[in-house]
Amino acid sequence: MKVALECIPCYLKQTINTIAQTKIPEEKAREIIYQILSLLPECDPQGTPAENSTVVLRRVNELLGIQDPFLKAKKESNHLALKLLPQLREKISRNNDPLFMSLKIAVAGNIIDMGILKDFDVEGSIREAMEKDFARDDYEDFQKQLKDARSVLILGDNSGEIAFDRLLAEQLLEQGVEVTYAVKDQPILNDATMADADHVGITEKIRVISNGSGFLGTVLKDCSEEFKQVYENSDIIISKGQANYESIEALGREDRRLFFLLRAKCEIVADNLEVELGQMVFCHS
């Protein structure tokens, strides 16, 4: 997905949300914002929003002198999600289609995005996911592919959300497929890393690997050879969240293994998906 003019304010919003995780003086915060403003002309108009955001956010972290500004917030979101797991497991087990329900739960967790939404209501998002249909729904095709699949790769997104993804991964295991879950190699915004995977316990049953990259989304040219091999050899790929959609949506037009599971949290992504802002999708490109 290519950048749009409307992406530029989002880079600044992500900058401000990152700075807000720290306790630096307002004068220092203003200096950082001005430096980021001068960096924006260097962003690649032919790149993806996720790639350009990464360039900006790496510079923000350098200026802050902090490798992981969202560390505390990530731990808190993981803790919040873990408290909800028992009741969510029960909802899944009671449903006539536990796998479909686990997809709904996983997309509800996609509300946890501190780069875009500073405030979020996880429990409200779960209730909404239970009540509303996917605006685009390719679950039937997913089921058909799953019957012949041996392996599923899940491209993880945010901390907190990763706990809900654990429930999805466990349901996929019950379908008799091998499940691999990919996390970021380095901290970027509140994206999940191996530390978050350990925190929520997904590593207990699921193979978790680093994608070898610190980019938002999945930028294959920056990923490790190990990850690229898993990506190429997986029968089905579930891509979680906006940044992953932004970075590999174009690949999904040709690659029918790719299913995108997300909530459209900005107008550009919503327009690209041909859905309304805030709607949930489980679909091909």
pLDDT digits (tens, 9 = 90+) for 6-49: 999 999 999 999 999 998 999 999 999 999 999 999 999 999 99
- How many CA atoms, within 13 angstroms, populate the side-chain half-sphere of residue 35? 17
Number of domains in the chain: 2
32 and 91 belong to one structural domain: no
Residues 173 and 244 in one domain: yes
> Does residue 78 share a domain with residue 50?
no
Residue 183 lies in a domain: yes
Of the pLDDT bands very low, low, confident and very high (cuts 50, 70, 90), residue 192 is very high
- Is the CB of residue 183 less than 8 Å from the CB of residue 210? yes
Residue 181: strand pairing partners: 154, 208
pLDDT of 114 higher than 70 = no
Q: 129 — phi, psi (to 5°)? A: -65, -35
Q: Quote the longest CA-to-CA distance of the chain.
A: 58
In eight-state DSSP terms, residue 154 is E
Residues 18 and 75 in one domain: no
State whether 23 and 97 are in the same domain.
no
Asked if residue 106 and residue 189 are part of one domain, the reply reads yes
**pLDDT per position as a tens digit, 126-158:** 888 788 899 999 999 999 999 999 999 999 999
| pLDDT surpassing 80 at residue 257 | yes
Q: Do 112 and 11 belong together in one domain? A: no
Look up the CATH number of the domain holding residue 239: 3.40.50.10880
**pLDDT recorded at residue 119:** 55
Asked whether residue 2 is assigned to any structural domain, the reply reads no
Considering the domain architecture, whether residues 60 and 95 belong to the same structural domain is answered as: no
Full domain range(s) for residue 47 = 7-64
Give residue for tokens 């925190």: 199
Boundary of a domain, candidates 64, 95, 110: 64
Shared domain check, 209 and 83 = yes
